[in-house]
Structure formats: C-alpha cells, structure tokens
Amino acid sequence: MAKELTTESYIDHHLTNLTCGHVGMDESAGIYKTFWTCDPYMVDKMGFWAFHVDSLFWSVLLGGLFIFLFKKGMSKSTDSNTAPTGMQNFVEMCIEFVEDNVQSLFGSVKNTLIAPLALTVFVWILLMNLMDLVPVDFLPVLAGHIAYAVAGGSVDWITSPESFYFKVVPTTDPNITLGMAFAVFVLTIYYSITVKGLKNFVAELTLHPFGKWLIPVNFVLEMVNFIAKPISLGLRLFGNLYAGEMIFILIALMLFFSSIPIGVLGFGLHLVWALFHILIVALQAFIFMALTIAYLAMAHETEEH
C-alpha cells in the first residue's frame, strides 16, 4: 500500500513514531487473540502499553555513546601527571561546566548524585538534540530501506520502504522528554522526603501560603505548583525541539513540492535555520540541566515556612 507522496503524507511520515505494542484482536470467529506488533495501523488498539521503538533506540544509543565517550576519554590517562589532551579536554570541560553550575545552584549541600545526574542530562540531551541537525530525510529513508530489505517479505505490514516509520530525534517525542522529567520528579520527591523528612515535606505542601486554617486551599495551590514543574520541564524541551523539527520538515517540503526558485530559497533557509538551531540545541540542553539542578536543590532546602 505505497501511498502517493503528498505534502500531508510527507509530514505525517516524519511525525509518526515506529510504535510497537501489545494488541488484542477480536477476530471474526470470536477467537480472542493477543500479539505484539509494530504495524502503524494497529497503534490505536495498543493503548498505553506501547513503545516508541525509534525514540528509545536513539535514546539508548546516544546515552551509550555518552557513557562510551566519557569513559574512553579518561581511560588512557587516569593518572594526574600527564597534561590532558584531545577528548580528555572535552570531557573535563563538560565536567568543569557542570560542577560550576551545580556549585552555584546547590551551594554547600553535598550530594554526589547531583553532578553526575546533571552531566548525564546535559550531554545526553545535547546529543539527542543534535540529531535534529541530521537532514530530515537521511535516517528515516535509510531505515525504511533497510527494514524493507531485511523484513519486507516476512513482516506483513512492511509493504514498502515508506511504510516503515522511523523518527530520529528522541527529544521531539513528548514521551522521552516527559519520561526524563518524570525521573527528575521522582528524584525530587525522594530527596524531599529523605532530606526534609516526610513531616516537613507534607507541611511544605499544606501549610503554605495561607497557614493551617486553609489547608485544602494550600494543598491545591502547592500541588499545582509541584506538578507543573516536571510537566513544564518536559514540555519545554519537547516544544522547542518539535517546533525546530517541524520547521526543518516544512523547509524540506519547499525543496520537493515547489518550483525551482523556491527550492533554492529552501536551501538557504535550511542553512540559516540549522545554524540558528545549533543555539537552541545547546540552550535547551543547558536549560533542562539547570532546572534539574534547581529542582533538586529546592528538594534539599530545609528552611522552615
């Protein structure tokens, strides 16, 4: 079912994840069958228990790349006698940068998890964001052809290279960004309880800002504040990168579906946007890191209200 290439299908193709999930099917004969599939036409039936395999693939790959780079960069010269060179310089620059930020936001509280967490978040998100600078059609088309060549005959829903969806930038998937924000949220709660104590934590959520006679109002207000943090953290990153990706797709459309002068203009625009996007890529990674540190710093604050 190779569809005709239209503007709509092109955009749609770029915005759809390769989703695998568990599907229960009520077959005509009344036999209830459940199975795993990645068929894009089954996505609606998968419910919550579905996975964006492409997002997770890139996320794990780039996370692994991060670990590899930082482990490899230091492995040769773990002694402090030699002057750092090459990769080690980059690694140390990143660490220095993260340490500075943690120091400025965290102050005197010593928690050895914060800096590694901030480093992981920063470098990982930076790498994921950088996938946005790979030309939009490169990897999806390549993946489609590989999938068609490998499994075109055996899997019934891969009928053409175009029927295989493969979204490249993990941070344009709200599941990924909210997932990370969720992990930060869990850590925030954990440290709030262990550092402040459950009593103080609950008090903070209920006795502020109106005192003990308006506990329900306080709780609702503080809860909104509390929940808004991880959601805004995740959606900010997602929104910025999704919009960036969207503009790349629209510029790419100029090349395919218009006259030659507009196509040429598209090349120029693509370059300009890519250059500008480098800024967003780094900035959003930094913002996510800084807010992660800030939220965890808040969880460590033990001041009385």
Name which of 120 and 218 has its Cβ closer to other proteins.
120
Task: Give the span between the Cα atoms of 214 and 222, in whole angstroms.
Answer: 12
Which region among 110-118, 150-158, 269-277, 281-289 touches other proteins (by CB under 8 A)? 110-118
Q: How far is the CB of 148 from other proteins (least distance, A)?
A: 24
Interacting residues with other proteins between 168 and 207 (CB under 8 A)? 173-176, 178-180, 182-183, 186
240 is known as an active-site residue: yes
Catalytic residue (one of 59, 163, 192, 240): 240
Report the 10 Å Cβ neighbour count for 40.
16
Q: Return the number of the residue (152 or 179) whose C-beta is nearest other proteins.
A: 179
Residue 111 designated active-site: no
> Is position 40 an interface residue for other proteins (rule: CB under 8 A)?
no
Min CB(115)–other proteins separation in Å: 6
Catalytic residue check, 175:
no
- Residue 55 sits in the site that holds other proteins (CB under 8 A): yes
Piece of 61-69, 199-207, 253-261, 277-285 that binds other proteins (CB under 8 A): 61-69
Q: Is 291 in the site for other proteins (CB under 8 A)?
A: no
Closest CB to other proteins among 87 and 274? 87
Residues that bind other proteins (CB under 8 A): 15, 17, 19, 21, 46-52, 55-56, 59-60, 63, 66-67, 70-71, 74, 77-81, 84, 91-92, 95-96, 99, 112-113, 115-117, 119-121, 124, 173-176, 178-180, 182-183, 186
Active-site residue set: 232, 236, 240
